[in-house]
Amino acid sequence: MKTLRLTIDGVTVTAREGMSVLEAALEAGIYIPHLCHHPDLKPVGVCRLCLVEIAGRGMTISCKTPVEEGMVVKTESPDIELARRVAVELLIVNHHADCLSCAKDGACKLQEIARYVGIEEERLQRLRRTTRSLPVDSSNPFFLRDPNRCVLCGICVRTCEEIVGASAIDYAFRGYATVISTLGNRPIVQSRCESCGECVARCPVGALVPRQERNPAREVRSVCAYCGVGCGLYLGVRGNQVVRVRGAAESPVNRGRLCVKGRYGHGYIGHPERLTTPLIKRDGRFVEASWDEALDLVAARLAGYRGDQFAALTSARCTNEENYLLQKFTRAVMGTHNIDHCARL
């Protein structure tokens, strides 16, 4: 791919053909405030925050401007400052200000932009604060949708359309009343939503937040335990508990995407009904046993059934190494080819 050179704030930057000015700047480590841009999605230019000045063209949004050879870009000027400040102030006055009680506190893009632009309380006073309080959609067991914290960037809408392809949500109503809505503005579980949580993973503010998830202390790269796609993921662990799962962006299988089971279906791991000790059935009831007791009994009993009166079912849920060992056990120790698993089921 062709590389181009342009100047941003006097710094010479290399970019690839087809990149936007915003992407070129971010890749070069130059911050331009932005809210509706997401690297996985097509640019739409609805937040109007990523303004830059391009020599010979004036002020424009950087997310929809492709880089050109020799382009000269400025990210700061009195005009940019004024236009951007007003846009940010309008977002802030329409936003619930209870940051400390928001799950996105500290990781919020709106906070990041407000810090960058520098909000002056006196200037905010001249604007009428919003009083609207819309109901939170808590119908989905895995995440909440809070329209009061939404900035209408549309990242969730585009994620559902471009990445997931379910198209469960879109903008609805007009002007001040605009919200992100399901068809007929019904609770999300009554829509086409597949609960994959891709929108939740990309929401820049606190409008879409997981319900039970807590921040992990560490992460371990793994593979999903459910279907045969084998999505790469990170298990987020706190203590001895899996508290969060996120897709592995570097996996060629799923490119960071997950479905509802992969992202939210990990509750079985530390489930109280897990088997914790060997069990031996005595008089029709299971009795707890030690490993030696159980394995001695199994070995003693199986010794009497070598050959074709024995059969084993190995597991499509176990690892290659475990499957190899059980077929080796069946063939080499028990002396039979009676081994199968549920591949056909």
Partner 1 sequence: MTGLVTSFGSGAMTNSIADIVRGARGFFVIGSNTTEQHPVIGMGIREAVKQRGAGLIVADPRRIPLTRLATIHLQHRAGSDIALLNALMNVLITEELYDKAFVGERTEGFAELQAAVATYTPEATADITGVPPALVRQAARLMADLRPLALLYAMGITQHTTGHQNVLACANLQMLLGNLGVPGGGVNPLRGQNNVQGACDMGGLPNYYTGYQLVASQEARRKFEAAWGVTLGSTPGLTVVEMLKEAEEGRIRAMYILGENPMVSDPDVNHVRRGLERLDFLVVQDVFLTETAKLADVVLPGVALAEKSGTLTNTERRVQLVSPAVSPPGQARQDWEIICDLAKRLQKEVPQGLFAGWNYRSPAEIMEEIAALTPSYGGVRHERLGAEGLQWPCPDLDHPGTPILHVGRFPRGLGRFVPVDWLPPAEQPDEEYPLVLTTGRVLYHYHTGSLTRRVPGLMELYPEGRVEVHPDDALKLGIADGGVVRVSSRRGSVTARAEVTQRTQPGLVFMTFHFAESAANVLTIAALDPVAKIPEYKACSVRIEPVA
258 forms part of the interface with partner 1 (CB under 8 A):
yes
Nearer to partner 1, 60 or 139 (CB): 139
CA–CA gap between residue 341 and residue 344 (Å, rounded): 8
Strands 72-74, 3-8: pairing kind: parallel
What residues from 217 to 236 belong to the interface with partner 1 (CB under 8 A)? 220-232, 235
**Total site size for partner 1, rule CB under 8 A:** 113
Q: SS3 for 236? A: strand
Encoded tokens for 2: 């062709």
Residue 233 Cβ, how far from partner 1 at the closest point, in Å? 10
- Exactly one of 196, 200, 201, 207 binds partner 1 (CB under 8 A); that residue is 196
Question: Interacting stretch for partner 1, rule CB under 8 A, among 83-91, 97-105, 118-126, 250-258?
Answer: 250-258
- Exactly one of 131, 281, 283, 285 binds partner 1 (CB under 8 A); that residue is 281
Return the half-sphere exposure (C-beta side, CA atoms, 13 A cut-off) of residue 190: 10
Strands 232-238, 285-288: pairing kind: unpaired
* Residue 140-179 contact track with partner 1, rule CB under 8 A, x = bound: xxx------------------xxxxxx-------------
Q: Do residues 71 and 6 make contact, with C-beta atoms less than 8 angstroms apart?
A: yes
CA–CA gap between residue 322 and residue 166 (Å, rounded): 38
Question: Interacting stretch for partner 1, rule CB under 8 A, among 73-81, 84-92, 102-110, 259-267?
Answer: 259-267
Nearer to partner 1, 147 or 265 (CB): 265
Residue 114 Cβ, how far from partner 1 at the closest point, in Å? 33
Q: For residue 317, count other CB atoms closer than 10 A to its CB.
A: 11
State the Cα torsion 29-31-35-36 to the nearest 10°: -50
Select from 73, 150, 164 the least CA-distant residue to 109.
150
Select from 85, 64, 61, 70 the least CA-distant residue to 8.
70
Q: For residue 30, count other CB atoms closer than 10 A to its CB.
A: 15
What residues from 283 to 342 belong to the interface with partner 1 (CB under 8 A)? 286, 289, 291, 294-299, 301-305, 308-342
CA–CA gap between residue 138 and residue 204 (Å, rounded): 19
Question: Interacting stretch for partner 1, rule CB under 8 A, among 2-10, 124-132, 137-145, 201-209?
Answer: 137-145
Q: How far is CA 63 from CA 12, 34, 50, 84, 154, in A?
A: 19, 8, 7, 14, 14
18 forms part of the interface with partner 1 (CB under 8 A):
no
117 forms part of the interface with partner 1 (CB under 8 A):
no
Residue 187 Cβ, how far from partner 1 at the closest point, in Å? 12
Residue 257 Cβ, how far from partner 1 at the closest point, in Å? 5
Residue 96 Cβ, how far from partner 1 at the closest point, in Å? 26
